[in-house]
Structure 1
Protein backbone atom coordinates (compact mmCIF):
# COMPACT_ATOMS: atom_id res chain seq x y z
CA UNK A 1 0.00 0.00 0.00
CA UNK A 2 1.09 3.57 -0.57
CA UNK A 3 0.52 6.25 2.04
CA UNK A 4 0.05 8.72 -0.80
CA UNK A 5 -3.33 7.01 -1.27
CA UNK A 6 -6.27 8.56 0.59
CA UNK A 7 -7.81 5.20 1.50
CA UNK A 8 -6.87 1.52 1.43
CA UNK A 9 -8.53 -1.69 2.64
CA UNK A 10 -7.33 -3.81 5.55
CA UNK A 11 -7.30 -7.57 5.44
CA UNK A 12 -9.99 -7.87 8.13
CA UNK A 13 -12.46 -5.90 6.01
CA UNK A 14 -11.77 -2.55 7.66
CA UNK A 15 -10.16 0.58 6.25
CA UNK A 16 -7.28 2.93 6.80
CA UNK A 17 -7.69 6.43 5.42
CA UNK A 18 -6.20 9.90 5.60
CA UNK A 19 -8.81 12.13 7.20
CA UNK A 20 -10.16 14.89 4.95
CA UNK A 21 -10.32 17.14 8.04
CA UNK A 22 -7.93 18.80 10.45
CA UNK A 23 -7.95 16.92 13.77
CA UNK A 24 -6.99 18.65 17.03
CA UNK A 25 -6.71 17.39 20.62
CA UNK A 26 -6.46 19.63 23.69
CA UNK A 27 -5.99 19.33 27.44
CA UNK A 28 -6.36 22.31 29.80
CA UNK A 29 -6.50 24.60 26.79
CA UNK A 30 -3.17 23.31 25.45
CA UNK A 31 -3.11 21.84 21.94
CA UNK A 32 -1.37 18.49 22.28
CA UNK A 33 -1.64 17.51 18.62
CA UNK A 34 -3.05 19.02 15.44
CA UNK A 35 -2.77 17.62 11.94
CA UNK A 36 -4.29 17.60 8.48
CA UNK A 37 -2.67 14.21 7.80
CA UNK A 38 -4.29 12.08 10.50
CA UNK A 39 -4.75 8.41 9.74
CA UNK A 40 -8.20 7.04 10.53
CA UNK A 41 -7.83 3.30 11.16
CA UNK A 42 -11.21 1.54 11.20
CA UNK A 43 -10.58 -2.13 11.86
CA UNK A 44 -13.51 -4.52 11.43
CA UNK A 45 -15.76 -4.70 14.52
CA UNK A 46 -13.94 -1.81 16.20
CA UNK A 47 -14.52 1.91 16.42
CA UNK A 48 -12.17 4.09 14.33
CA UNK A 49 -8.91 5.33 15.86
CA UNK A 50 -6.98 8.50 14.98
CA UNK A 51 -3.20 8.24 14.48
CA UNK A 52 -1.20 11.49 14.29
CA UNK A 53 2.13 11.91 12.49
CA UNK A 54 4.77 12.30 15.20
CA UNK A 55 5.80 15.63 13.65
CA UNK A 56 2.33 17.03 14.45
CA UNK A 57 2.40 16.02 18.14
CA UNK A 58 3.83 17.99 21.09
CA UNK A 59 6.36 15.25 21.87
CA UNK A 60 8.06 17.59 24.38
CA UNK A 61 5.19 16.97 26.80
CA UNK A 62 5.06 13.19 26.24
CA UNK A 63 6.75 11.03 28.86
CA UNK A 64 7.35 7.39 27.92
CA UNK A 65 6.25 4.91 30.58
CA UNK A 66 7.16 1.30 31.25
CA UNK A 67 3.59 0.38 30.32
CA UNK A 68 3.59 -1.99 27.35
CA UNK A 69 0.72 -3.83 25.70
CA UNK A 70 0.43 -6.28 22.83
CA UNK A 71 -2.11 -5.08 20.27
CA UNK A 72 -3.12 -8.03 18.14
CA UNK A 73 -0.82 -8.58 15.19
CA UNK A 74 0.34 -4.93 15.12
CA UNK A 75 3.00 -5.53 17.76
CA UNK A 76 3.88 -4.01 21.11
CA UNK A 77 2.52 -0.58 22.01
CA UNK A 78 4.38 1.79 24.34
CA UNK A 79 2.20 4.12 26.41
CA UNK A 80 2.96 7.73 27.30
CA UNK A 81 1.89 10.18 29.98
CA UNK A 82 1.25 13.84 29.27
CA UNK A 83 2.73 16.57 31.47
CA UNK A 84 0.99 19.93 31.12
CA UNK A 85 1.46 22.85 33.52
CA UNK A 86 2.43 20.57 36.39
CA UNK A 87 -0.42 18.17 35.67
CA UNK A 88 0.21 14.56 34.66
CA UNK A 89 -2.29 12.61 32.56
CA UNK A 90 -1.38 8.94 32.81
CA UNK A 91 -1.68 6.47 29.92
CA UNK A 92 -2.79 9.21 27.54
CA UNK A 93 -1.10 8.14 24.31
CA UNK A 94 0.52 5.16 22.65
CA UNK A 95 2.78 4.35 19.71
CA UNK A 96 4.39 1.33 18.06
CA UNK A 97 8.17 1.52 17.94
CA UNK A 98 8.27 -1.40 15.53
CA UNK A 99 4.77 -2.14 14.20
CA UNK A 100 4.41 -5.53 12.58
CA UNK A 101 2.68 -7.03 9.56
CA UNK A 102 -0.13 -5.12 7.97
CA UNK A 103 0.15 -2.49 10.69
CA UNK A 104 3.66 -1.50 9.61
CA UNK A 105 2.26 1.74 8.14
CA UNK A 106 1.71 2.96 11.73
CA UNK A 107 5.44 3.49 12.27
CA UNK A 108 6.03 7.15 13.08
CA UNK A 109 2.45 7.72 14.30
CA UNK A 110 1.07 8.41 17.77
CA UNK A 111 -2.48 7.83 18.97
CA UNK A 112 -4.34 9.10 22.02
CA UNK A 113 -6.59 7.28 24.47
CA UNK A 114 -9.95 8.88 23.77
CA UNK A 115 -11.22 9.23 27.34
CA UNK A 116 -7.95 10.80 28.56
CA UNK A 117 -8.26 13.79 26.22
CA UNK A 118 -10.51 16.66 27.28
CA UNK A 119 -11.34 18.16 23.87
CA UNK A 120 -11.37 16.66 20.38
CA UNK A 121 -12.06 18.70 17.25
CA UNK A 122 -12.63 17.83 13.60
CA UNK A 123 -11.96 21.17 11.92
CA UNK A 124 -14.02 23.50 14.15
CA UNK A 125 -16.58 20.87 15.22
CA UNK A 126 -16.15 19.48 18.72
CA UNK A 127 -16.71 15.70 18.85
CA UNK A 128 -17.55 13.80 22.01
CA UNK A 129 -18.16 10.11 21.32
CA UNK A 130 -15.53 8.65 19.02
CA UNK A 131 -13.78 9.44 15.72
CA UNK A 132 -15.77 9.67 12.54
CA UNK A 133 -15.03 7.10 9.88
CA UNK A 134 -15.09 9.19 6.67
CA UNK A 135 -15.68 6.06 4.58
CA UNK A 136 -18.31 4.42 6.79
CA UNK A 137 -20.95 2.41 4.98
CA UNK A 138 -24.05 2.97 7.08
CA UNK A 139 -27.77 2.57 6.43
CA UNK A 140 -31.09 2.13 8.25
CA UNK A 141 -33.71 0.15 6.33
CA UNK A 142 -37.34 -0.57 7.39
CA UNK A 143 -38.11 -4.27 6.98
CA UNK A 144 -40.90 -6.85 7.27
CA UNK A 145 -38.57 -9.54 8.65
CA UNK A 146 -39.98 -11.46 11.61
CA UNK A 147 -37.78 -10.78 14.65
CA UNK A 148 -38.14 -12.74 17.90
CA UNK A 149 -35.96 -12.21 20.98
CA UNK A 150 -35.71 -14.62 23.92
CA UNK A 151 -34.15 -13.81 27.30
CA UNK A 152 -34.27 -16.18 30.26
CA UNK A 153 -36.60 -18.45 28.37
CA UNK A 154 -39.13 -15.65 27.83
CA UNK A 155 -40.21 -14.25 24.47
CA UNK A 156 -39.49 -10.57 25.14
CA UNK A 157 -39.89 -9.18 21.61
CA UNK A 158 -41.94 -10.29 18.63
CA UNK A 159 -42.02 -7.93 15.66
CA UNK A 160 -42.59 -7.91 11.92
CA UNK A 161 -41.67 -4.25 11.47
CA UNK A 162 -38.01 -3.83 12.44
CA UNK A 163 -35.62 -1.22 11.14
CA UNK A 164 -32.33 -2.91 10.26
CA UNK A 165 -29.20 -0.84 10.85
CA UNK A 166 -26.11 -1.98 8.96
CA UNK A 167 -22.63 -0.59 9.64
CA UNK A 168 -19.50 -1.74 7.85
CA UNK A 169 -17.66 -4.38 9.87
CA UNK A 170 -20.39 -4.69 12.55
CA UNK A 171 -23.30 -7.11 12.97
CA UNK A 172 -26.69 -5.88 11.79
CA UNK A 173 -28.84 -4.45 14.57
CA UNK A 174 -32.63 -4.77 14.69
CA UNK A 175 -34.58 -1.80 16.08
CA UNK A 176 -38.12 -2.69 17.17
CA UNK A 177 -41.23 -0.64 18.12
CA UNK A 178 -41.91 -0.56 21.87
CA UNK A 179 -45.39 -1.98 21.19
CA UNK A 180 -43.70 -5.20 20.05
CA UNK A 181 -41.55 -5.52 23.20
CA UNK A 182 -42.44 -6.83 26.67
CA UNK A 183 -41.75 -3.52 28.41
CA UNK A 184 -43.03 -5.02 31.69
CA UNK A 185 -39.84 -7.12 31.78
CA UNK A 186 -37.53 -4.11 31.30
CA UNK A 187 -36.28 -1.49 33.75
CA UNK A 188 -34.62 1.82 32.76
CA UNK A 189 -30.87 1.90 33.39
CA UNK A 190 -28.70 4.82 34.46
CA UNK A 191 -26.32 4.00 31.62
CA UNK A 192 -25.97 6.30 28.62
CA UNK A 193 -23.74 6.57 25.59
CA UNK A 194 -23.35 8.66 22.46
CA UNK A 195 -22.72 7.64 18.88
CA UNK A 196 -21.42 10.19 16.40
CA UNK A 197 -23.68 8.71 13.72
CA UNK A 198 -26.88 7.97 15.65
CA UNK A 199 -27.06 10.29 18.67
CA UNK A 200 -27.50 9.82 22.44
CA UNK A 201 -28.67 6.41 23.68
CA UNK A 202 -30.65 5.36 26.75
CA UNK A 203 -30.54 1.80 28.15
CA UNK A 204 -32.77 -0.79 29.82
CA UNK A 205 -31.96 -3.93 31.78
CA UNK A 206 -34.15 -7.05 31.76
CA UNK A 207 -35.40 -8.63 35.00
CA UNK A 208 -36.41 -12.22 34.25
CA UNK A 209 -36.56 -15.25 36.52
CA UNK A 210 -34.76 -13.44 39.31
CA UNK A 211 -31.82 -12.63 37.06
CA UNK A 212 -30.73 -9.21 35.81
CA UNK A 213 -29.50 -8.80 32.23
CA UNK A 214 -27.79 -5.42 32.47
CA UNK A 215 -28.06 -2.91 29.61
CA UNK A 216 -29.36 -5.53 27.20
CA UNK A 217 -31.56 -3.00 25.38
CA UNK A 218 -30.86 0.49 24.09
CA UNK A 219 -32.67 3.19 22.18
CA UNK A 220 -32.06 6.58 20.58
CA UNK A 221 -35.04 8.70 21.73
CA UNK A 222 -34.12 11.41 19.23
CA UNK A 223 -31.85 9.82 16.65
CA UNK A 224 -29.85 12.07 14.35
CA UNK A 225 -31.52 13.00 11.05
CA UNK A 226 -29.41 10.53 9.03
CA UNK A 227 -31.06 7.64 10.91
CA UNK A 228 -34.36 9.20 11.95
CA UNK A 229 -36.04 5.86 11.23
CA UNK A 230 -34.78 4.41 14.55
CA UNK A 231 -35.95 7.24 16.83
CA UNK A 232 -37.68 5.73 19.86
CA UNK A 233 -37.21 2.14 18.71
CA UNK A 234 -35.57 -0.51 20.92
CA UNK A 235 -32.56 -2.63 20.02
CA UNK A 236 -31.45 -5.79 21.82
CA UNK A 237 -27.80 -6.67 22.29
CA UNK A 238 -27.69 -9.75 20.04
CA UNK A 239 -24.67 -11.17 21.84
CA UNK A 240 -26.28 -11.08 25.31
CA UNK A 241 -29.80 -12.40 24.70
CA UNK A 242 -30.48 -16.14 24.82
CA UNK A 243 -31.58 -16.23 21.21
CA UNK A 244 -32.60 -13.91 18.39
CA UNK A 245 -34.56 -15.37 15.49
CA UNK A 246 -34.85 -13.79 12.06
CA UNK A 247 -37.71 -15.27 10.03
CA UNK A 248 -37.46 -18.42 12.13
CA UNK A 249 -33.69 -18.83 11.78
CA UNK A 250 -31.51 -18.29 14.85
CA UNK A 251 -28.97 -15.48 14.59
CA UNK A 252 -25.37 -16.69 14.85
CA UNK A 253 -23.06 -14.60 17.08
CA UNK A 254 -20.22 -12.74 15.40
CA UNK A 255 -17.00 -12.09 17.34
CA UNK A 256 -16.81 -8.34 17.82
CA UNK A 257 -15.09 -5.63 19.81
CA UNK A 258 -16.62 -2.18 19.83
CA UNK A 259 -13.94 -0.69 22.01
CA UNK A 260 -11.39 1.78 20.80
CA UNK A 261 -7.90 0.30 20.86
CA UNK A 262 -6.27 0.76 24.27
Structure 2
Protein backbone atom coordinates (compact mmCIF):
# COMPACT_ATOMS: atom_id res chain seq x y z
CA UNK A 1 0.00 0.00 0.00
CA UNK A 2 1.29 3.47 -0.76
CA UNK A 3 0.73 6.39 -3.13
CA UNK A 4 -1.98 4.92 -5.34
CA UNK A 5 -3.72 2.27 -3.22
CA UNK A 6 -5.92 2.10 -0.13
CA UNK A 7 -6.21 5.48 1.58
CA UNK A 8 -3.06 6.82 -0.08
CA UNK A 9 -3.25 10.27 -1.74
CA UNK A 10 -3.96 8.80 -5.19
CA UNK A 11 -5.85 5.72 -4.00
CA UNK A 12 -9.55 5.01 -4.43
CA UNK A 13 -10.37 6.26 -0.92
CA UNK A 14 -7.82 8.95 -0.01
CA UNK A 15 -7.89 9.69 3.71
CA UNK A 16 -6.79 13.30 3.38
CA UNK A 17 -7.47 16.31 1.17
CA UNK A 18 -5.44 18.39 -1.27
CA UNK A 19 -5.44 22.20 -1.32
CA UNK A 20 -6.27 22.12 -5.03
CA UNK A 21 -8.75 20.32 -7.26
CA UNK A 22 -7.21 17.27 -8.87
CA UNK A 23 -7.47 17.42 -12.67
CA UNK A 24 -8.77 13.83 -12.66
CA UNK A 25 -9.33 11.00 -10.23
CA UNK A 26 -8.91 8.10 -12.67
CA UNK A 27 -5.78 7.17 -14.57
CA UNK A 28 -3.29 8.88 -12.28
CA UNK A 29 0.17 7.49 -13.12
CA UNK A 30 3.58 8.20 -11.61
CA UNK A 31 6.67 6.70 -13.30
CA UNK A 32 9.97 6.86 -11.42
CA UNK A 33 13.41 5.25 -11.46
CA UNK A 34 14.26 2.65 -8.82
CA UNK A 35 17.81 2.26 -7.46
CA UNK A 36 17.21 -1.40 -6.53
CA UNK A 37 18.70 -4.29 -8.45
CA UNK A 38 15.87 -6.63 -9.45
CA UNK A 39 16.17 -10.15 -10.86
CA UNK A 40 13.51 -12.56 -12.10
CA UNK A 41 14.14 -16.28 -12.72
CA UNK A 42 12.33 -19.08 -14.51
CA UNK A 43 13.54 -22.68 -14.55
CA UNK A 44 16.78 -21.62 -12.87
CA UNK A 45 17.58 -19.15 -15.66
CA UNK A 46 17.81 -15.40 -15.06
CA UNK A 47 15.25 -13.76 -17.36
CA UNK A 48 15.75 -10.20 -16.15
CA UNK A 49 18.67 -8.64 -14.26
CA UNK A 50 18.04 -4.93 -13.95
CA UNK A 51 19.80 -2.05 -12.23
CA UNK A 52 17.83 0.63 -14.07
CA UNK A 53 14.22 -0.45 -13.52
CA UNK A 54 11.36 2.02 -13.51
CA UNK A 55 8.49 1.72 -11.05
CA UNK A 56 5.01 2.56 -12.31
CA UNK A 57 2.42 3.68 -9.77
CA UNK A 58 -1.15 3.69 -11.11
CA UNK A 59 -4.39 4.79 -9.46
CA UNK A 60 -5.91 1.97 -7.39
CA UNK A 61 -3.23 -0.59 -8.29
CA UNK A 62 -0.08 -2.04 -6.81
CA UNK A 63 3.17 -0.70 -8.28
CA UNK A 64 4.74 -2.56 -11.22
CA UNK A 65 8.38 -2.67 -12.32
CA UNK A 66 9.22 -1.91 -15.95
CA UNK A 67 12.65 -3.07 -17.12
CA UNK A 68 14.77 -1.72 -20.00
CA UNK A 69 14.84 -4.23 -22.85
CA UNK A 70 18.65 -4.35 -22.73
CA UNK A 71 18.42 -5.72 -19.16
CA UNK A 72 15.96 -8.47 -20.19
CA UNK A 73 16.91 -11.74 -21.88
CA UNK A 74 14.84 -10.92 -24.97
CA UNK A 75 16.15 -14.15 -26.57
CA UNK A 76 13.97 -16.03 -24.05
CA UNK A 77 10.85 -14.01 -24.96
CA UNK A 78 8.58 -15.04 -27.82
CA UNK A 79 6.03 -12.50 -29.18
CA UNK A 80 2.40 -13.65 -29.04
CA UNK A 81 -0.85 -12.46 -30.64
CA UNK A 82 -2.29 -11.49 -27.26
CA UNK A 83 -3.01 -7.78 -26.74
CA UNK A 84 -4.76 -5.58 -24.21
CA UNK A 85 -5.75 -1.93 -24.07
CA UNK A 86 -5.32 0.57 -21.24
CA UNK A 87 -7.12 3.93 -21.66
CA UNK A 88 -4.21 5.66 -19.92
CA UNK A 89 -1.21 3.85 -21.41
CA UNK A 90 -2.30 2.46 -24.78
CA UNK A 91 -2.13 -0.95 -26.49
CA UNK A 92 0.05 -3.60 -24.87
CA UNK A 93 1.91 -6.36 -26.70
CA UNK A 94 2.80 -9.61 -24.95
CA UNK A 95 5.58 -12.19 -24.84
CA UNK A 96 5.72 -15.78 -23.65
CA UNK A 97 8.84 -16.70 -21.68
CA UNK A 98 10.45 -20.02 -22.66
CA UNK A 99 13.37 -21.60 -20.78
CA UNK A 100 13.94 -25.16 -21.98
CA UNK A 101 10.76 -27.08 -21.15
CA UNK A 102 9.46 -24.32 -18.89
CA UNK A 103 6.93 -22.01 -20.52
CA UNK A 104 5.23 -18.98 -18.96
CA UNK A 105 2.54 -17.90 -21.42
CA UNK A 106 1.95 -14.19 -21.92
CA UNK A 107 4.06 -13.53 -18.85
CA UNK A 108 5.55 -10.25 -20.10
CA UNK A 109 4.13 -7.17 -21.76
CA UNK A 110 5.15 -3.78 -23.04
CA UNK A 111 3.81 -0.65 -24.73
CA UNK A 112 5.77 -0.17 -27.97
CA UNK A 113 3.68 2.88 -28.92
CA UNK A 114 2.24 4.40 -25.73
CA UNK A 115 -0.37 7.14 -25.77
CA UNK A 116 0.98 10.70 -26.05
CA UNK A 117 0.25 11.61 -22.43
CA UNK A 118 1.40 8.25 -21.04
CA UNK A 119 4.80 7.81 -19.39
CA UNK A 120 7.71 7.00 -21.76
CA UNK A 121 7.06 3.23 -21.68
CA UNK A 122 8.48 2.33 -25.11
CA UNK A 123 11.52 0.07 -24.76
CA UNK A 124 10.47 -1.31 -21.36
CA UNK A 125 9.16 -4.77 -20.42
CA UNK A 126 7.00 -5.70 -17.41
CA UNK A 127 6.28 -9.19 -16.01
CA UNK A 128 3.40 -10.79 -14.15
CA UNK A 129 5.04 -11.42 -10.82
CA UNK A 130 3.60 -14.89 -10.23
CA UNK A 131 4.48 -16.27 -13.66
CA UNK A 132 8.19 -16.39 -12.93
CA UNK A 133 9.55 -18.79 -10.33
CA UNK A 134 11.53 -16.38 -8.20
CA UNK A 135 12.32 -12.72 -7.73
CA UNK A 136 15.31 -11.19 -5.97
CA UNK A 137 15.56 -7.64 -4.65
CA UNK A 138 19.31 -7.10 -4.40
CA UNK A 139 20.20 -10.56 -2.98
CA UNK A 140 17.07 -11.14 -0.90
CA UNK A 141 13.92 -13.00 -1.99
CA UNK A 142 11.09 -10.70 -3.04
CA UNK A 143 7.59 -12.16 -2.61
CA UNK A 144 4.04 -11.34 -3.60
CA UNK A 145 4.49 -8.19 -5.66
CA UNK A 146 6.80 -5.22 -6.08
CA UNK A 147 7.31 -3.37 -2.82
CA UNK A 148 6.22 0.26 -2.72
CA UNK A 149 8.95 2.65 -1.53
CA UNK A 150 6.21 4.89 -0.12
CA UNK A 151 4.82 2.16 2.11
CA UNK A 152 5.83 1.79 5.74
CA UNK A 153 5.09 -0.60 8.60
CA UNK A 154 5.35 0.26 12.30
CA UNK A 155 4.64 -2.29 15.05
CA UNK A 156 4.05 -0.74 18.47
CA UNK A 157 3.26 -2.18 21.89
CA UNK A 158 0.03 -0.79 23.31
CA UNK A 159 -1.73 -1.15 26.67
CA UNK A 160 -5.03 0.09 25.24
CA UNK A 161 -7.86 -2.37 26.00
CA UNK A 162 -8.80 -4.28 22.84
CA UNK A 163 -11.81 -6.59 22.52
CA UNK A 164 -12.98 -8.56 19.50
CA UNK A 165 -16.55 -9.83 19.18
CA UNK A 166 -18.11 -12.04 16.53
CA UNK A 167 -21.89 -12.29 16.58
CA UNK A 168 -21.95 -10.79 20.08
CA UNK A 169 -19.49 -13.39 21.42
CA UNK A 170 -16.17 -12.19 22.84
CA UNK A 171 -13.42 -13.98 20.93
CA UNK A 172 -10.39 -12.06 22.19
CA UNK A 173 -9.64 -9.51 24.88
CA UNK A 174 -6.28 -8.03 25.82
CA UNK A 175 -4.26 -5.12 27.15
CA UNK A 176 -1.09 -6.56 25.57
CA UNK A 177 -1.78 -6.03 21.87
CA UNK A 178 0.73 -4.93 19.28
CA UNK A 179 -0.76 -2.53 16.77
CA UNK A 180 0.57 -2.63 13.22
CA UNK A 181 0.29 0.61 11.27
CA UNK A 182 0.73 0.12 7.52
CA UNK A 183 0.50 2.88 4.95
CA UNK A 184 -2.97 3.13 3.43
CA UNK A 185 -4.53 0.40 5.58
CA UNK A 186 -6.56 0.36 8.81
CA UNK A 187 -4.58 -0.27 12.01
CA UNK A 188 -4.35 -4.00 12.69
CA UNK A 189 -4.49 -5.09 16.32
CA UNK A 190 -2.38 -8.22 16.85
CA UNK A 191 -3.31 -10.10 20.00
CA UNK A 192 -1.21 -12.62 21.98
CA UNK A 193 -2.55 -16.17 21.43
CA UNK A 194 -3.10 -16.59 25.19
CA UNK A 195 -5.65 -13.74 25.05
CA UNK A 196 -7.69 -15.35 22.27
CA UNK A 197 -10.32 -18.01 22.97
CA UNK A 198 -8.69 -20.86 21.09
CA UNK A 199 -11.76 -23.11 21.47
CA UNK A 200 -13.59 -20.78 19.06
CA UNK A 201 -10.89 -20.94 16.38
CA UNK A 202 -11.13 -23.34 13.44
CA UNK A 203 -8.06 -24.08 11.33
CA UNK A 204 -8.22 -22.98 7.71
CA UNK A 205 -6.27 -24.05 4.64
CA UNK A 206 -6.13 -20.47 3.38
CA UNK A 207 -2.75 -18.75 3.02
CA UNK A 208 -1.89 -15.34 1.60
CA UNK A 209 1.30 -13.52 0.76
CA UNK A 210 2.26 -9.99 1.76
CA UNK A 211 5.37 -8.47 0.18
CA UNK A 212 6.17 -6.70 3.46
CA UNK A 213 5.05 -9.13 6.18
CA UNK A 214 5.39 -12.59 4.65
CA UNK A 215 3.10 -15.62 4.43
CA UNK A 216 -0.06 -15.56 6.53
CA UNK A 217 -2.06 -18.52 7.82
CA UNK A 218 -5.74 -18.19 8.73
CA UNK A 219 -8.34 -19.13 11.31
CA UNK A 220 -12.11 -19.13 11.07
CA UNK A 221 -14.25 -18.38 14.13
CA UNK A 222 -17.13 -20.64 15.18
CA UNK A 223 -19.28 -19.26 18.00
CA UNK A 224 -21.11 -21.48 20.53
CA UNK A 225 -24.39 -21.07 18.62
CA UNK A 226 -22.75 -22.65 15.56
CA UNK A 227 -22.31 -19.48 13.47
CA UNK A 228 -19.02 -19.42 11.56
CA UNK A 229 -17.07 -16.48 10.17
CA UNK A 230 -14.63 -17.93 7.65
CA UNK A 231 -10.99 -16.85 7.44
CA UNK A 232 -11.57 -13.83 9.66
CA UNK A 233 -8.30 -14.06 11.60
CA UNK A 234 -4.69 -14.55 10.58
CA UNK A 235 -1.15 -14.81 11.91
CA UNK A 236 2.41 -14.89 10.60
CA UNK A 237 4.35 -17.96 11.83
CA UNK A 238 7.55 -16.78 10.14
CA UNK A 239 7.20 -13.09 9.32
CA UNK A 240 9.63 -10.95 7.36
CA UNK A 241 11.79 -8.56 9.38
CA UNK A 242 9.36 -5.60 9.12
CA UNK A 243 6.71 -7.63 10.96
CA UNK A 244 8.95 -9.76 13.21
CA UNK A 245 7.31 -8.45 16.38
CA UNK A 246 3.88 -9.85 15.47
CA UNK A 247 5.14 -13.41 15.03
CA UNK A 248 2.33 -15.81 16.05
CA UNK A 249 0.12 -12.95 17.27
CA UNK A 250 -3.45 -13.12 15.93
CA UNK A 251 -5.23 -10.30 14.09
CA UNK A 252 -8.87 -10.02 13.05
CA UNK A 253 -10.32 -8.19 10.08
CA UNK A 254 -11.64 -4.86 11.42
CA UNK A 255 -14.00 -5.00 8.43
CA UNK A 256 -15.78 -8.15 9.63
CA UNK A 257 -15.78 -8.17 13.44
CA UNK A 258 -16.90 -5.83 16.19
CA UNK A 259 -13.65 -4.30 17.40
CA UNK A 260 -13.56 -2.30 20.61
CA UNK A 261 -10.54 -0.13 21.46
CA UNK A 262 -10.54 1.82 24.74
CA UNK A 263 -14.10 0.57 25.18
CA UNK A 264 -15.27 2.27 21.97
CA UNK A 265 -16.72 0.31 19.08
CA UNK A 266 -14.61 1.03 16.00
CA UNK A 267 -16.22 1.85 12.68
CA UNK A 268 -15.79 -0.95 10.17
CA UNK A 269 -13.53 0.35 7.37
CA UNK A 270 -14.36 -0.16 3.70
CA UNK A 271 -11.52 -2.06 2.02
CA UNK A 272 -11.05 -4.93 -0.41
CA UNK A 273 -11.62 -7.26 2.57
CA UNK A 274 -15.06 -5.87 3.40
CA UNK A 275 -17.89 -8.44 3.08
CA UNK A 276 -19.50 -6.68 0.12
CA UNK A 277 -16.36 -6.83 -2.05
CA UNK A 278 -14.74 -10.13 -1.04
Query: What's the TM-score bracket when you normalise by the shorter of the two chains?
Result: 0.7 to 0.9
2:212 corresponds to 1:197: yes
Q: Residues 255 and 200 from structure 1, CA distance in 2 versus in 1: closer, same or farther, beyond 3 angstroms? A: closer
Q: Residues 102 and 181 from structure 1, CA distance in 2 versus in 1: closer, same or farther, beyond 3 angstroms? A: farther
Q: Residues 45 and 217 from structure 1, CA distance in 2 versus in 1: closer, same or farther, beyond 3 angstroms? A: farther
Q: CA deviation at 1:33?
A: 1.4
CA contact 1:54–1:110 (8 Å) conserved in 2: yes
Q: CA deviation at 1:218?
A: 1.1
Aligned to 1:235: 251
Runs of 4+ deviating beyond 6 Å: none
Aligned to 1:252: 268
| CA distance, structure 2, for counterparts of residue 102 and residue 151 of structure 1 | 49
TM-score by length of 2: 0.72
Q: CA deviation at 1:19?
A: 2.6
Q: Residues 64 and 204 from structure 1, CA distance in 2 versus in 1: closer, same or farther, beyond 3 angstroms? A: same
Q: CA deviation at 1:228?
A: 3.4
2:28 corresponds to 1:12: no
Q: CA deviation at 1:70?
A: 5.8
Give per-residue Cα distances to partners, 1:168-211, cap 9 Å, x unaligned.
22222111122332221111223334444334432212224544
Q: CA deviation at 1:142?
A: 1.4
Considering Cα pairs closer than 8 Å and 6+ residues apart, tell me whether 1 or 2 has the greater RCO: 1
- Structure 2 counterparts to residues 43-192 of structure 1, below 5 A: 47-69=62-84, 77-85=92-100, 87-97=102-112, 104-192=119-207
Q: Residues 125 and 226 from structure 1, CA distance in 2 versus in 1: closer, same or farther, beyond 3 angstroms? A: closer
| CA distance, structure 2, for counterparts of residue 216 and residue 61 of structure 1 | 42
| CA distance, structure 2, for counterparts of residue 186 and residue 72 of structure 1 | 46
**SS of residue paired to 2:119:** helix
Q: CA deviation at 1:24?
A: 1.3
RMSD: 3.3
| CA distance, structure 2, for counterparts of residue 143 and residue 71 of structure 1 | 45
Moved more, 87-96 or 163-172: 87-96
Q: Residues 17 and 246 from structure 1, CA distance in 2 versus in 1: closer, same or farther, beyond 3 angstroms? A: farther
Q: CA deviation at 1:12?
A: 1.0
Q: Structure 2: which 5+ runs fail to align?
A: 12-28, 274-278
Q: Structure 1: which 5+ runs fail to align?
A: 1-8, 258-262
Higher strand share: 1
How many residue pairs get aligned? The number is: 248
